[in-house]
Amino acid sequence: MKNILKSIYFSFFILALAGCKKDFIALNPISNANEENFYKTEDDFTNAIYGAYSSLKSNGIYNDYMQLVGDLRSDNTEMGSTASSRFAFYELSQFQVQQTSEIVESIWKDHYVGIRRANTILSRINDAGISQNSKNRITAESQFLRALYYFNLVRVFGNVPLVTKSIQTIEESYTYGRTDVKTVYNQIIEDLLNAAPALPLTVKGEEGRATQGAANALLGKVYLTLHDYQNAKTSLEKVISSKQYDILPDYSSLWNADAKNHKESIFEVQFKTNLTASTGSQFTERYTPYLFPNLPYSSTAGGYNIPREDLINAYEATDLRKNASLKENYTKKDGTVVRGLEGRYTYKFHDMPVKGGGADDNWPVLRYADVLLMYAESLNEISFTTDGEAFKQLNAIRKRAGLPEKTFSNANPLLAINSQEEFRTAIEKERRVEFAFEGHRWFDLLRTGKAIAILGPKIKTGLVAEQLLLPIPLSQIDVNPDNIKQNPGYQ
């Protein structure tokens, strides 16, 4: 795989462009000397785009915090411990995040580092003496990544600084304030519309790089988030009609660390186990039971994403996905069975690594099953059609899970869908169990407007609209108080 995708996104380049943690929005430029000497050859730009991809592996993006935001801030999971080392995550689960939290600091910083890298490429590539094909592809990849980074930011923080060019001076970075959500989404859509046709259909041998399918699938998700169902349908149909993807027949095989970048995968973040844990993932370390005694590297890990009983009960009795996704207990070496909060754990991504944080699991950002269920949802929102195409896509996912079809006027009331609203409920339930522990649930509740109604009774202090967004990191307000104001409720 092309030198394991240049040692998993060219780790050297991560260090070269790391930037200063205290910089405003992490967009301050690297030294002009480094920049002027670097962006010249095709290899330079290839390494630069690997650097832009490498941000995906940051703790503030897909090596930790984004998936925990997506599940801990939902009715799917809870923390197995409130120990001081984990208290920030407990606060996350209880909607009590502080504006000084490392979680919001890392999410903000790591996404803007990725955006800076993409912007630098886009500002340099037009004048570069490289082939037009490479120029087109790397430009499209930069646009795709920038769109993905902004899509995460706008859903987590709301209004955010929108920067689409390379910052030339530190002083310039302080001129940016928060841009309204609509404008940010318009930029995301523009980037993806431009990127999709210029990206390749497949990337065999270069797994981890963006494709047309990835851009169109992400665009479909963006439109769905905005309730633009017709455009969501159009974008998702492009993925389906490309015939590049399919759902795997065995759901459990999705989580085999040896089966990366499979037919169902549209875009996944690449991790590779090694002895130093510098390129591996930490999902197993996070998701094992709290104080799990069977880890080869630490018995104090685990307990970060414990399945709630509410999620366990959401699976139908014969759903094959349940056993592939979670476990309700485990047995110690002495034969003692541990149950309850301390025994439940996420089983997806359970690749036992040789070192903590060195697991071999990739992170699935976009799966074909997601495309099919988003497509079904879009069709239903446009027009409810009895036993139509939307039913077909929903039932394709259910069939793989070993479940019977849901149909119009089914004699079994548990399998009957007789209205548009009932189809909405069916899709919401299916998405919850299909994508459990993949960081989708919170964002699904958010875009469907059901977060407060569903989560409010489960949160000790209740839930109000102001808590749906995370606070802007206080460090960003401190360095630019004139232009960056805090989200309501966190002052």
Angle at alpha carbon of residue 99, lines to 161 and 489, rounded to 5°: 85
Q: What is the pLDDT of residue 452?
A: 98
Q: What is the pLDDT of residue 9?
A: 43
The answer to the question of residue 333 being in a domain is: yes
The answer to the question of residue 222 being in a domain is: no
440-467 in b/e form (b: 16+ CB < 10 A) is: bbbbbbbebeebbebbeeebeeebeeeb
Please indicate, yes or no, whether the overall pTM of this predicted structure exceeds 0.85.
yes
Residue 479 in 3-state DSSP?
helix
Short-list 437, 365, 375, CA closest to 152: 365
- pLDDT digits over 424-482, tens only? 999 999 999 999 999 999 999 999 999 999 999 999 889 999 999 999 999 999 999 99
Look up residue 227 and give its DSSP letter.
Answer: T
- Only one residue has tokens 């990366």, namely 260
The answer to the question of residue 268 being in a domain is: no
Enter the tokens of residue 207. 């797994």
Short-list 283, 290, 253, 303, CA closest to 350: 283
Total number of domains constituting the chain = 1
HEC states along 71-87?
HHCCCCEECCCCCHHHH
Residue 363 in 3-state DSSP?
strand
Collect all residues with Cβ–Cβ distance below 8 Å to 20 and sequence separation of at least 6.
26, 28
Residue spans of the chain under pLDDT 50: 1, 3-4, 6-22, 30-33
Q: Up-side HSE of residue 252: CA atoms within 13 Å toward CB?
A: 8
Q: How far apart are CA 325 and CA 195, in angstroms?
A: 34
Q: What is the pLDDT of residue 40?
A: 84
The answer to the question of residue 20 being in a domain is: no
As a whole number of Å, the end-to-end CA separation of the chain is 49
Collect all residues with Cβ–Cβ distance below 8 Å to 336 and sequence separation of at least 6.
none
Report the DSSP beta bridge partners of residue 15.
none
Strands 345-346 and 330-331: unpaired
Q: Which domain holds residue 318?
A: 283-359
The answer to the question of residue 338 being in a domain is: yes
Enter the tokens of residue 171. 């002083």
Any alpha helices (H) in 100-243, and if so which ranges?
A: 102-125, 132-157, 170-173, 181-195, 212-225, 229-241
Short-list 351, 344, 309, CA closest to 326: 344
| Amino acid at the residue 487 | N
The answer to the question of residue 242 being in a domain is: no
The answer to the question of residue 488 being in a domain is: no
Rounded-to-10 torsion of CA 437, 438, 439, 441:
-70
Enter the tokens of residue 82. 């409130």
Q: What is the pLDDT of residue 353?
A: 63
Q: Up-side HSE of residue 130: CA atoms within 13 Å toward CB?
A: 21
Q: What is the pLDDT of residue 13?
A: 36
Enter the tokens of residue 112. 């803007």
The answer to the question of residue 343 being in a domain is: yes
Look up residue 179 and give its DSSP letter.
Answer: B
